[in-house]
Amino acid sequence: SATPRVDLAIATMLALFIGATAFAGSRAGLSRTHVSRVAGPAMSADEPWNSDIIAKSTLGVAELEKAVGKASSTGQDFLEAQPYWDVSNIPLNTYKNKAPFTGKVVSCKRIVGPDATGETCHIIISHGGKMPYWEGQSYGVIPPGTNPKNGKPHTVRLYSIASSRYGDDMTGNTGSLCVRRAVYVDPETGKEDDSKKGVCSNYLCDATPGLEVTMTGPSGKVMLMPEQDPKTDLIMVATGTGIAPYRGFIRRLFVEKTPAAAAYKGQAWLFLGVANSDSLLYDDEWQAALKSYPQNFRLDYALSREQTNKNGGKMYIQDKVEEYSDEIFSKLENGAHMYFCGLKGMMPGITDMLERVASSKGMNWAEKLEQFKKNGQWHVEVY
């Protein structure tokens, strides 16, 4: 119905506003079904947290409610194709390296707790409706300055967009990025080496409202949603900031009043792997979707420092997915689309697991995988 989506939209926006200050309290609402309550070990020296940078949102609660209320009352249908699932004319490479777009930062906020393994920020950038995109696409960011190794301008870095095409305020004027600050700690001294830190991630995580950002894109077709058949199941696997495209998916299906949301009858199943509870990303949003749409949304976490796998080792994302190997394989056989975004290290374990399931059923995995790819069911964007 329309009412849960409006309430969920407002809850989502308020969660983004409240952010880190309410993080400890939000843990109390975490489902015991999905997250181990065992405390994880202390953060190691090679995973520092830069506590000096905690950016603040510029939008007040009243402004957020006003923006969401206005957008929700009219529905999100003004950026749709005709029919809504037609991908033949999606925005693609509207802005290129030689002729980029200048966006403006609306807000930058830390979205992980104090015991997270590193700092991750949610950055909202205004494009004024001039740089539209679809869920699953990426923006390119060109950081200012030159590469000290060759004296040339820095090259573009790609980031999966972490919002639906309507943006967090649902007006179609912004796009959001989920960025982890990349730092390097000298193993001998235990201190950060600024000369080796990630240029673009630090630039974005240090961003303040009003900062102009040089951008390219949107790019990518690999991670688009299959919307023609609204009964299609989605299996979304992420590590860390690889959660970004799925946030856009879930907002489109369960938060906004889109044609896709009205039609959807399948199940969207999210797997997220991070180190510990404080490293979880957008958990409040997932819990809200789970509460409002328990039949259509499913959630599983792999917390490597708080959970153990069936062999007593750390619970990595591939271990959590393996717990449901037969069910996942069956879903793929029935037309489900499976997505992978994040660290490429998760892929071998997952494909090995699916190969074992195929073999147990007397099937050739290589042939099945080729079939899934040919059918457009297999989507991979890892690094």
In whole angstroms, what is the distance from residue 53 CA to residue 75 CA?
36
Contact partners, residue 102, CB within 8 Å, separation at least 6 = 212, 213, 214, 215
The crossing angle, in degrees rounded to 10, of helices 325-333 and 346-360 is 80
Q: How many CA atoms lie within 13 A of 160 on its CB side?
A: 28
Give the tokens for residue 259.
């044609």
Catalogue the active-site residues.
159-160, 341, 381, 383
Radius of gyration of the chain (CA): 20
Query: Is the CB of residue 276 less than 8 Å from the CB of residue 115?
Result: yes
Contact partners, residue 92, CB within 8 Å, separation at least 6 = 218, 219, 221
Angle (CA) 234-163-341 rounded to 5° is 50
Strand partners, 302: 273
Give the tokens for residue 114.
């104090």
In whole angstroms, what is the distance from residue 77 CA to residue 70 CA?
13
N-terminal to C-terminal alpha carbon distance within the chain: 38
**298-319 burial, b for 16+ CB within 10 Å, e for fewer?**
bbbbbbbbbbebeeeeebbbbb
In whole angstroms, what is the distance from residue 156 CA to residue 236 CA?
26
**6-24 burial, b for 16+ CB within 10 Å, e for fewer?**
bebbbbbbbbbbbbbeebe
In whole angstroms, what is the distance from residue 121 CA to residue 262 CA?
31
Nearest to 43 by CA among 324, 378, 306: 306
